[in-house]
Amino acid sequence: MRLIPAIDIIQGQCVRLSKGDFNTKKVYNLNPLEVAKSFEDNGIKHLHLVDLDGAKSQHIVNYKILESICTKTNLKVDFGGGLKSDDDLRIAFESGAHQITGGSIAVKQPEIFNAWLQDYGSDKIILGADCKDQKIATSGWLETSALNVISFIKNYEEKGISYVICTDISKDGMLEGTSNELYEKIINETNVKLIASGGVSNIDDLVQLKALGCEGAIIGKAIYEGKITLKQLQVLC
């Protein structure tokens, strides 16, 4: 299972939110590149980079930080947040993104997302299936749709999607454990490569996600709050 630390960006700073609420913002580092380098120095090979300013603005904002991390480390970065147009996507890939994640656009403008999938291939486009009470949420989690998360994933699996990041918003940033029942259901009912996100609080959570069959696990606040050390991740890498 791939271990994928997360860096969320607001105004150029490395932050974390709780349940996606911008009012809960906590700044952990003023230099995201410094954080990325520390991950790489401890054997990490992948990074989940989220442009929260972009998610709120509905277009890519922090691509210079993406470019800096991609040119000054060897991390394979998946990038999301505010990717709404072909131009946004072009900027993300030109800035060095290895993969991009599309969530809201897959709900609101599926024809664009499907075109990206066809043009770039399933190895480059990740479906963001962020949900609350198993209903898909959009627009930086500010809106909840009527779409069931399993049905949503199945629909895009039929269209060729391979990678899915699923975040249970109620768990995100809470350090209270992961949505294992939901992940098990997704793994049993689909053949996607599932990347679990939200709620990782300790090494045992990662062991359980691996046992479930998750392809990857995104780790955020647990690292920044010292619940999981980079040395511990080194052992699992």
What was the pLDDT predicted at 139? 66
Question: Under a CB-based contact definition with an 8 Å cutoff, are residues 163 and 190 in contact?
Answer: no
What was the pLDDT predicted at 145? 79
Both tokens assigned to 222? 């647990």
What was the pLDDT predicted at 219? 96
Mean pLDDT is lowest, of 3-7, 139-143, 192-196, 227-231, for 139-143
**Residue environment code for 1-25, b if the CB has 16+ CB neighbours within 10 A, otherwise e:** bbbbbbbbbbeebbbbbeebeeeee
Say how many domains are in the chain.
Answer: 1
Is 63 strand, coil or helix? Answer: helix
What was the pLDDT predicted at 142? 63
Per residue in 117-167, pLDDT (tens digit) is 999 999 999 999 999 889 998 765 666 778 999 999 999 999 999 999 999
Question: pLDDT band for position 170 (50/70/90)?
Answer: confident
| Catalytic choice (51, 53, 78, 130) | 130
Per residue in 30-70, pLDDT (tens digit) is 899 999 999 999 999 999 999 999 988 999 999 999 999 99
Tell me the C-alpha to C-alpha distance, in Å, between residue 97 and each of 19, 58, 77, 219. 25, 18, 5, 19
What was the pLDDT predicted at 141? 62
Give the Cα separation of 103 and 210 in Å (integer).
24
pTM: 0.93
> Does the pLDDT value for residue 214 go beyond 90?
yes
**HSE-up of 187 (CA within 13 Å, CB side)?**
17
- What CATH number corresponds to the domain at position 173? 3.20.20.70
Percent of the chain whose predicted confidence (pLDDT) is above 90: 80
205 is catalytic: no
123 is catalytic: no
What was the pLDDT predicted at 7? 96
Give the Cα separation of 169 and 179 in Å (integer).
10
Range of the domain at 128: 2-236
Question: Under a CB-based contact definition with an 8 Å cutoff, are residues 161 and 154 in contact?
Answer: no
What was the pLDDT predicted at 175? 78
What was the pLDDT predicted at 20? 74
Distance of CA 190 to the CA centre of its chain: 19
- What's the mean pLDDT in 90-119? 96
